[in-house]
Amino acid sequence: MRRRKSATEAESPPARRTRKRRSLSALRDKAKTGTRRKAPSTATPSEDSVSIDSFAAASLKQYGSYVVEERSITDFRDGLKPVHRYILWAMKNLGLNSKSKYKKSARTIGDVLGKYHPHGDQAAYGAMATLVNYKLSPQLVDGQGNWGTPVDNQAAMRYTEARLSAMSDIFLLDKGYLKTVPMVDNFDNSEKVPLYLPATLPMLLVLGSSGIGFGVKSDSPPFNIDGVYELVLLGLKAFRANKKLGPNNCAKHLRIDYSYGGVQVSEDEDVANLIKYGKGSIKFAPEVNADWKNKLIEIKSFSPGFRSSNVIQKKLAKFAEMDAVSKAGDDSNEKNPKSGPLGAYFYIKPARGLSEEKFFDLAEQVFKELVSSESYDLGFTVRRADDSNMFVKSSFVTFFNNWIKYRVQLEIDYLQALIDECLTQIERTELLIFGVDNRQVIIKSLDSKDPDKFLITKLKISAEKAKAILDLQVRKLAKLEKPALLQKIKELKAEIRQYKQDQEDPTPRIAAKTKEQFKAYKSRVK
């Protein structure tokens, strides 16, 4: 008796190999339009399935794009990750500028979660803490209370307070430049948020960046703001001469600011090679003070390998076992007057009877023990400076030259906004002049049954203009003098001519603005 073949067996291998499954794109089209895209002629008409492999790959790609765009990687223009941008934007909308009173951090985080970033409160608060704890490089948020140290977590958000820093006010949230930034919908389309903040310094260099996303990463140390400022002015000169800066120019002006207070002990050549070639290790050591008078060796900052409690305790235990050491301890606390800027304070007491020479030998040995390296693989995966939100991997030097292009375009857009404002003022002033010239007719129209129709007929103007005239305060028209209004128009037209001239070559204006902002910042952070 012949066994009946199963459905799987009955289908020949070639038939199975040629079967076509509906593509994910076809399903997307169906979801968008409500209609089914015509299937290829080789497909089985009744089939309505997607392979698990295809679906998984597409879903993973979609999730990866979300992680990169919304969480992991900084933006080309402002050097901020989305959560950091939302925090600054929320604080701005709460009126928490650098001169306002501090407000509970929980208030800011509540707005961030409810309006812009619907994720975990601790994650958002942790991101806020990173903006506060740039204590040796510019802070974007000025915090009050216990915001933690490299070895201790910050207090709960209900205990800490914060406001925007001078850095954010001056270089990121200038109200004039904000007018040029595209606004996009938030996650539930209930609020508008800026696509990026109009940075007037390359914040990616000032703050540094470390982020890993779906197949992408950014890795850069923070650089001293003075050097970044000098480099921007040099980059503007190069742009005006239709040139680009090379790695030597960048390496000459940029100096690494180690975030934890360590002292750079590598040669300047090591830093230059890091910038030129994108890879390298820079050695740092903590600040070590050898006080022979008080018989004490003090350590007041952290080095890369010396910023977790476990590593610190192991190092101190190793020092304590030395014959020349009687005690090694940890009194790290920001309230300790002897501590460094991040609350670091470790001490080593020499053994009784240790000679001065051996004491300083011990201090040198401690210093060498604490030297460690920070490895960098410089590369920036950032959003391009346009509305596409596409991502691109950029070298260090390429990033900076492209940022200069963005800065020039930002100024051109800002000048255009000023031109548009002047044109609006001219239009309104001309309307006032028209109202002054026809004051009696306007007053008479107020006694008619249909003032709009009366003005349209008598003055032969459009309905829109008639409405605008009637919106004017008649008493105000009586006080206005035509010569003053004509002079105002003359001045506005002169401003427009100057703005248009600046648009042709905005670099001198940008340089002057950058110098002004930098001076204001330095005066605020002394």
Active site positions, annotated: 159
Residues facing residue 161 across a β-bridge: 104, 144
Gap between the terminal Cα atoms of the chain: 98
Tokens of 56: 């998984």
Largest CA distance in the chain: 113
HSE-CB of 433 using CA atoms within 13 angstroms: 14
Helix axes 396-437, 225-240, angle to 10 degrees: 70
Question: What is the β-pairing status of strands 161-164 and 346-350?
Answer: unpaired
Which ranges in 78-202 belong to alpha helices (H)? 82-93, 105-111, 121-132, 166-171, 175-178
Q: What is the spatial distance between Cα 130 and Cα 140, in angstroms, rounded to a whole number?
A: 9
Q: Are 211 and 380 in contact (CB under 8 A)?
A: no
Do you know the residue count of the chain?
A: 526
- Name the nearest CA neighbour of 78 among 123, 140, 165, 133: 140
Backbone angles phi, psi at 171, to 5 degrees: -100, -10
The string of DSSP letters for 27-59 reads HHHHHHHSSPPPPPTTS-TT-----HHHHHHHH
Beta strand residue intervals within 189-242, DSSP E: 192-194, 209-212, 217-220
Q: Are 445 and 455 in contact (CB under 8 A)?
A: yes
